[in-house]
Amino acid sequence: MAVESRSVTAKSNPSTPVVIASLLVTLALLTLPFVFRLDGKPHADWQQFLGRFHPLIVHLPIGLMLLVPILEIVGRRRPSLREAAGFVLTLSLFACIGALILGYLLAYGSGESGPLVALHMWGGIALTIGVIACVAVRPQWASGEAQGIFRTLYLVLLPCVVITLAWTAHEGGSLTHGPNYLTEFIPSPLKRLPLVDTARADTSSAPNSFYTKHIHPILDANCVACHGAGKVKGGLRVDTYAQLMKGGHDGRVIVGGQPEKSILLQRITLPSDHKNFMPAEGKPPLKPLEIAWIRAWIQQGASSSAASLVGIAVPYDAKQASLPPVEDYSSRMAEIAQAASAEGVTMTPVSSNLRDGLILNTIDVASRFGDAQLAKLEKFAPYIVEVELGRTSVTDASFDTLAKFHHLRALHLEGTAITGAGLAKLHALTELTYINLSETKVTTAAISTLSEMKNLKHIYLYDTPAQPIANQAAAQAAATKAP
């Protein structure tokens, strides 16, 4: 080390001792991974103790290295800053070596292995060697007395080092936070870019199986950061079905039909302060429901293809059923409130999320609310998802207006004077799932058109010519189409 720091002051081409020292350190770094192989087995505790300072120290060389090109560029105008660049570069070399040693201790001590760990390690080594080279050749370049290749070598090396730095740092971040950390919440238009690989196809399980839909996402969210393609702690990968069933250093972690013998289940159900508890390192434990699913899935054979499990109720899949959001109306709220109070109706948000839309409720003015009043509210149609016109004076003429409420999901017309003429106009409402025509004059013929509406699953016709009260028992079964 001492040799290198002296080299800063050298004026001519790199002196022999500097070259020798640089080559020696480089050689040492390159042989390190072969002498102390990362075999996936944990070693001494002191190594881990020191190693865990790696994430702290590692930010030093990053900061210092990024400063060097800035100082070099700005130094063209203010020579004093260029002088400082040399000092900062040397500092960053020490920081690099320190971070590298600690990082190696961390990986070696805790028994981490896997391609991502290896990549990060080689990145760190390459980076350190690059910095050594920079330190070695910079004095000649800075003095302006450099000959031949040394006139440009530094200018080529430095950008290379910075790029290596960025890449290595990214790999390190992926190790800590999981490979998807950066791209997980990327805006959807950017998702299509080829660089962003969010979908990890797993060909070893059926696409519609309980495993793929419910077990894999649990493992993906909680375990893959340490047991995935990148980092393979304990030799276990759970990122694909095949890898999961293969197990790790301790053998199989999933034994189909035998939850009590499945190490994975044991580990996630230990007391959370137990040494072997998973997820480790203070990451949040799995939720009881997730554990129940994993247990039931193992109990029932840990199949990669079974679509459902006996006794396991999968809750309503909100994502699957999510409806298109309505347009943003936040800028028109005052207008909406004014129109509502002018008509005596309410237009209340479905939820705190404005994009869930508004509910138009006319109950307070039902007797004096008719087609004309409805038409006045038409300008807010894009924001309204539910219209309650029960017992109002609207008529069949209202269907013209209602057809423009293209986000409408529920429509209440019970107890109105409609006869169903013009119901076909509602075909424009592709999101409509519920219509209540109870206590109106609609006939079987009039409502036949509704059967063409695919999403319209709930049609209520109680006490209408289409479904008179007398034979309600028979019609009751027909009222709700099979989902």
Positions in the binding site for other proteins (CB under 8 A): 289, 313, 315-316, 346, 348, 350-353, 356, 361, 363-364, 390, 410, 412, 414, 434, 436, 438, 458, 460, 462-463, 469, 472, 476, 479
**Measured from the CB of residue 363, what is the shortest distance to other proteins in angstroms?**
5
Residue 279, preceding peptide bond in cis (omega within 30° of 0): yes
Q: How far apart are CA 151 and CA 83, in angstroms?
A: 17
Q: How far apart are CA 248 and CA 234, in angstroms?
A: 6
Q: What is the DSSP letter of 248?
A: B
Residue 16 or 352 with smaller CB distance to other proteins:
352
Residue 117 or 456 with smaller CB distance to other proteins:
456
Q: How far apart are CA 262 and CA 298, in angstroms?
A: 8
Q: How far apart are CA 140 and CA 137, in angstroms?
A: 6
Residue 276 or 444 with smaller CB distance to other proteins:
444
**Measured from the CB of residue 320, what is the shortest distance to other proteins in angstroms?**
13
**Measured from the CB of residue 471, what is the shortest distance to other proteins in angstroms?**
11
CB atoms closer than 10 angstroms to residue 211: 24
Q: How far apart are CA 450 and CA 63, in angstroms?
A: 66
Helix-, strand-, coil-residue percentages of the chain, each rounded to 5: 55, 5, 40
**Measured from the CB of residue 425, what is the shortest distance to other proteins in angstroms?**
21
**Measured from the CB of residue 168, what is the shortest distance to other proteins in angstroms?**
41
**Measured from the CB of residue 353, what is the shortest distance to other proteins in angstroms?**
7
Residue 158 or 418 with smaller CB distance to other proteins:
418
Residue 154 or 293 with smaller CB distance to other proteins:
293
Q: Which helix (H) or strand (E) holds 458?
A: strand 458-460
CA 98-100-106 angle, to 5 degrees, is: 105
Residue 185 or 316 with smaller CB distance to other proteins:
316
**Measured from the CB of residue 394, what is the shortest distance to other proteins in angstroms?**
17
Burial class (CB in 10 A: 0-12, 13-18, 19+), 160: middle
CB-CB contact of 137 with 158 (8 Å): no
**Measured from the CB of residue 397, what is the shortest distance to other proteins in angstroms?**
23
| Residues present in the chain in total | 483
Residue 35 or 482 with smaller CB distance to other proteins:
482
Residue 62 half-sphere exposure toward CB, CA atoms < 13 A? 16
**Measured from the CB of residue 313, what is the shortest distance to other proteins in angstroms?**
5
**Measured from the CB of residue 291, what is the shortest distance to other proteins in angstroms?**
12
* Close Cβ partners of 278 (under 8 Å, ≥ 6 residues apart): 223, 264, 267, 268, 270
Residue 359 or 403 with smaller CB distance to other proteins:
359
Phi then psi for 72, rounded to 5 degrees?
-65, -40
**β-bridge mates for residue 399, sequence order:** none
CB atoms closer than 10 angstroms to residue 154: 21
Residue 328 or 364 with smaller CB distance to other proteins:
364
> In this structure, what is the dihedral angle of CA atoms 274, 278, 282, 287, given to the nearest 10 degrees?
-110
**Measured from the CB of residue 335, what is the shortest distance to other proteins in angstroms?**
16
Residue 299 or 304 with smaller CB distance to other proteins:
299
Q: How far apart are CA 27 and CA 23, in angstroms?
A: 6
* CA-closest candidate to residue 295, choices 240, 241, 214, 236: 214
Residue 2 or 477 with smaller CB distance to other proteins:
477
CB-CB contact of 134 with 88 (8 Å): no
